[in-house]
Structure 1
Amino acid sequence: MPESTSDATFDTTRTAFSLVVNGVTKKYPNIRFVLAHAGGAVPYLAGRVSVTASMLAGLGGAMPAIAEGMGKIYSLSSKWQSKMPEQLSYYLRFKDNVLPEGPDHFLGTFYYDTALSASAHCFASLLTVVDSSHIVFGTDYVFAAEAAVPIRVEGVQNYAGFAPADVQAIARDNVLRLFPEFG
C-alpha cells in the first residue's frame, strides 16, 4: 500500500494518543489540535483505549501502590529511568495524564479534518468520538490528486448522518470558529 494510505494515518494515530498519554492535552487544554485524515485510526481505537482506561482505573489492592513505588525508585536516577519497563512507564503516565477524565474526554477535544477521509466508513467511526462541531473540511490537496477534491466535497455533502447544518459547520463554520481571522 502507498504510504499515504496507511503510514500517514498511523503516524497521526500514534501522535494523538501520545499527546493524551503524555499529558500534553491535560497540561495545555486551550490548544486546539486538528488531526489530519479524521484522526487516522483514533476513532476505531478509541474503544480499545477506553477499555484499558477502565481496567487501569479499576485496579485495586497492592498493585497500584507497588507501581507507584517502583516508579519513584526508577525516577531517582536518569540511568534507571531509561531502564523502566515500558508497561510500568505507560501505566504511570496513563494514570497521571488520562485518569480520572478518561481518554474519550481528551479525544473529544481534538478537531478532525476530512482529508482523504470523507466517507461513510470514516464518519460512522468518527462520530462515535466527536460530533460535527469538531470536524473540519480538508482534502489533502496538493498531496492528493486534484480529482480527489470533488470526491471529498461530495463525501461530506452526501453523508446520510449529516443534516444540512452539519455540512455547513464542517464546510465553513467550524474553521471560522477556530480561526476567526479567516472570516
Structure 2
Amino acid sequence: MIITNTKRSCPSCKVILSHAGGTLPFLITRMSTVSKESVATVRIYGKTSEGIVEDFRSFYFDLALSSSEAVLKLVLDVITHDHILYGSDFPYASTDKSTGFKQILNNFPLDQELRDKIYFQNAHKLFAKAE
C-alpha cells in the first residue's frame, strides 16, 4: 500500500494494522535509514525515504497481543501517538492471553494522558469520523 501509492490514492481510507503492525515498525525504520538520501530509493519506489515514512505514519496500529516492553518502546518511538490503539484480539485470543497482555500494558510506564489516548480516545476520534 505504501510502495504502490494505494494509501495516498485513498487518503480517506483508514487502515488499522493489528499486532502493532507486526514487523512493519522495525522494517520501516530500517528501510528509511538505509535508503536515506538514496537516488535509488526514488527510482525504485517512486518516493523518498521521508515519503515512505509519511505514508507509514498514516496507518493506525492496535496493540492486540503486542504489549511487551520491547514492542511498546519501538511503537512509542516510531508511531504517531494518536495512531496507537488498544486492541485485545477478542474473540480470537483466549481470555488468559488477552488479560496477560493487558496487564503488561497496564504496568508499562505511561503518563495518564497517553494511556487514555491509547485505551480509548484515539479509537473514539477515529470512529467518530466514520459516523
TM-score, length-scaled by structure 1 = 0.63
Whole-angstrom distance in 1 between the partners of 2:108 and 2:2:
29
Relative to structure 1, the CA distance from residue 24 to residue 181 in structure 2 (aligned partners, 3 Å threshold; closer, same or farther) is closer
Structure 2 residue ranges without an equivalent (≥5)? none
For 1:158, the equivalent position in structure 2 comes to 107
Q: In the aligned structure 1, how far is the partner of 2:71 from the partner of 2:118?
A: 14
- Aligned pairs for 1:59-138 (under 5 A) are 59=40, 91=44, 94-95=45-46, 98-99=47-48, 101-138=50-87
Q: What is the Cα deviation at residue 101 of structure 1?
A: 4.1
Q: Is the 8 A contact 1:115 1:139 kept in 2?
A: yes
Aligned to 1:141: 90
Distance in 2, Cα, partners of 1:142 & 1:182: 23
- Give a deviation string over 1:125-145, Cα, whole Å, max 9, x none: 112221321111111122211
The structure with the largest alpha-carbon Rg is 1
Q: Which residue of 2 aligns with 1:47?
A: 29
1:151 Cα deviation after fit: 1.8
> How far apart, in 2, do the equivalents of 1:155 and 1:103 lie?
31
Contact 2:32 2:50 in 1 (8 A): no
Q: For 1:99 and 1:26, locate their aligned partners in 2 and report how far apart those are by CA, in whole Å.
A: 14
Instruction: Tell me the percent identity.
Output: 24
Aligned partners of 1:143, 1:117: CA distance in 2, in Å? Answer: 14
Question: Structure 1, unaligned stretches of length 5 or more?
Answer: 1-18, 68-90
Query: Counterpart amino acid of 1:21?
Result: I
Which residue of 2 is the match for residue 85 of structure 1?
none
Normalising by structure 2, we get a TM-score of 0.85
The RMSD of aligned alpha carbons is 2.4
SS of the residue aligned with 1:117?
coil
Q: Which residue is 1:180 aligned to?
A: 128
SS of equivalent to 2:32: helix
2:119 to 148, 159, 171: 171
Query: Conserved in 2, the CA contact under 8 Å of 1:43 and 1:128?
Result: no
The verdict on how the C-alpha distance between 1:100 and 1:26 changes in structure 2, with shifts beyond 3 A counting, is farther
